[in-house]
Chain A
């Protein structure tokens, strides 16, 4: 593998500065956003590099568990803040985090135990990147799907209640909206699988090839990751939709929109 020197990174950074300068002529805010984001990338990745190095040397299951929990909590918070109208109380954070835990952790453990079969199974070189990729993708699917379901329940209240009035159960009344939400949560991963290798070369595989791995070996890993990600995203999305739609109704099958926060958009407008 060819090592990157500091100067190589500086050259790439100069290109970002050029981009910031050019876009700053259009809009100053955009320039600042680019600079801040570039700075965050540098600092965050350097830090995680140090953490991973330390973690790999230590390889203690308790620390790996701790890091996994931190990753899960941050992902749970991301899901929550992406919601236009989130569930009140701890429900929004709870549903998102629990669904991600359920899907990402099970799929990662399955991959570590059954597929990779590494010794020890929790070896951080495998466990952490796998969990990271799964969490990142599951997070997208879940936050899109939950947002879609709560928004459409809010907007189509009349339709849902119209069905309830004609004697539908809560499940029947919301099933169309749930189906649409599941579809929008799963579109990104379906697109990624369909376009892989033709339109896009997935990042993990590209990284392995750049690092000198055999392309066929890299491809096999990528296929496995794609499958795991789609299963994780699918399970997580379905779990979160099930929990959200249950929370949207009470035991008498009444639609309880009072369990949703007033949307961010509305608050900004008022």
Chain B
């Protein structure tokens, strides 16, 4: 095992999807792609230990089962494609009040914390959900199409914010997406879920 290895997944499988084997170094971002319905999101859910699964996962050498489930999910944090909100306004969803710099990185002013959830657009929700998951300071980010609802400017800002976070904290990321050009830009390598659920690493074109 590599000394600097941060996150290790071995033989991870959920239903008939998998097995997935991968190792992430600090700061690394890998892509995960495949047709709609191929099971990418289910793999991410299994990585966050939200669904029963086979195989093993280790963070900094510690097995998932040896950590409390809530600690695991704070460290291996999932940003779902569709975010959930349960308080009336934005602010209470954040563990600590985010500073203005973090908010402005995605084009928000501090007033956003008082905004009502039912007035948010899907793009605003997606950007705020990204800020919310980063506020956990996770070691591994599981990103499910994090820029799907964003215009080009905001998508660029989100990519830059994620990149800065990985570089600054030494965290790693798994990025699920359809846009090959974007994945080539953000990820060092890419895995594809093929029909039948098998997963293989894509060769760089």
Interface band, chain A: 10 to 19
Q: Which of B49, B78, B84 contacts A252 (CB 8 A)?
A: B49
CA distance A165 to B140 in the complex (A): 13
CB-defined contacts of B132 to chain A, threshold 8 Å: 166
Q: Which of B71, B77, B85, B95 contacts A165 (CB 8 A)?
A: B77
Residue in chain B with minimal CB distance to A258:
B52
In the assembled complex, the CB of B49 is this many whole angstroms from the nearest CB of chain A, namely: 6
CB-defined contacts of B86 to chain A, threshold 8 Å: 159, 162-163, 176
In the assembled complex, the CB of A162 is this many whole angstroms from the nearest CB of chain B, namely: 3
B contacts, CB < 8 Å to A: 48-52, 65, 69-71, 73-74, 77-78, 80, 82-86, 95, 132-133, 136
Quick check: A167 and B84 within 8 Å, CB to CB? no
Q: Which of B70, B84, B136 contacts A169 (CB 8 A)?
A: B70
Given contacts A253-B70, A254-B69, contact A165 B82 (CB under 8 A): no
In the assembled complex, the CB of B21 is this many whole angstroms from the nearest CB of chain A, namely: 21
Residue in chain A with minimal CB distance to B78:
A165
Quick check: A161 and B136 within 8 Å, CB to CB? no
CA distance A162 to B71 in the complex (A): 15
Quick check: A166 and B95 within 8 Å, CB to CB? yes
CB-defined contacts of A5 to chain B, threshold 8 Å: none
In the assembled complex, the CB of B41 is this many whole angstroms from the nearest CB of chain A, namely: 12
Quick check: A162 and B52 within 8 Å, CB to CB? no
Quick check: B49 and A254 within 8 Å, CB to CB? yes
CB-defined contacts of B84 to chain A, threshold 8 Å: 158-159, 161-163
Given contacts A167-B73, A169-B70, contact A162 B80 (CB under 8 A): yes
In the assembled complex, the CB of A169 is this many whole angstroms from the nearest CB of chain B, namely: 5
CB-defined contacts of B77 to chain A, threshold 8 Å: 165-167
Quick check: B80 and A165 within 8 Å, CB to CB? yes
CA distance A159 to B86 in the complex (A): 6
CA distance A167 to B86 in the complex (A): 15
CB-defined contacts of A163 to chain B, threshold 8 Å: 84, 86
CB-defined contacts of B85 to chain A, threshold 8 Å: 159, 162
Residue in chain B with minimal CB distance to A160:
B84
CA distance A164 to B48 in the complex (A): 10
Quick check: A254 and B70 within 8 Å, CB to CB? no
Quick check: A165 and B48 within 8 Å, CB to CB? yes
A161-B84, A162-B85, A165-B48 known; 16 other A-B pairs, CB under 8 Å? A158-B82, A159-B84, A159-B85, A161-B80, A163-B84, A164-B50, A164-B70, A165-B50, A165-B80, A166-B73, A167-B71, A167-B73, A167-B74, A250-B52, A252-B49, A255-B50
Q: Considering the complex, which residues of chain A in the window 137-170 have a beta carbon less than 8 Å from any beta carbon of chain B? A: 158-159, 161-169
Residue in chain B with minimal CB distance to A252:
B69
Q: Which of B50, B65, B95 contacts A161 (CB 8 A)?
A: B50
Residue in chain A with minimal CB distance to B94:
A166
CB-defined contacts of B51 to chain A, threshold 8 Å: 254
In the assembled complex, the CB of B47 is this many whole angstroms from the nearest CB of chain A, namely: 11
CB-defined contacts of A165 to chain B, threshold 8 Å: 48, 50, 73, 77-78, 80, 133
CB-defined contacts of A166 to chain B, threshold 8 Å: 73-74, 77, 95, 132-133, 136
Residue in chain B with minimal CB distance to A168:
B70
Residue in chain B with minimal CB distance to A254:
B50
Interface centre among B50, B69, B77, B136 (most CB of A within 10 A): B69
CA distance A253 to B51 in the complex (A): 10
CB-defined contacts of A161 to chain B, threshold 8 Å: 50, 80, 84
Quick check: A253 and B95 within 8 Å, CB to CB? no
Residue in chain B with minimal CB distance to A163:
B86
CA distance A167 to B69 in the complex (A): 8
CA distance A87 to B68 in the complex (A): 26
In the assembled complex, the CB of B53 is this many whole angstroms from the nearest CB of chain A, namely: 10
CB-defined contacts of B71 to chain A, threshold 8 Å: 167
CA distance A254 to B50 in the complex (A): 5
Q: Considering the complex, which residues of chain A in the window 164-189 have a beta carbon less than 8 Å from any beta carbon of chain B? A: 164-169, 176
In the assembled complex, the CB of B107 is this many whole angstroms from the nearest CB of chain A, namely: 23
CB-defined contacts of B83 to chain A, threshold 8 Å: 162
CA distance A219 to B77 in the complex (A): 60
CB-defined contacts of A254 to chain B, threshold 8 Å: 49-52, 69
In the assembled complex, the CB of A153 is this many whole angstroms from the nearest CB of chain B, namely: 13
CB-defined contacts of A252 to chain B, threshold 8 Å: 49, 65, 69
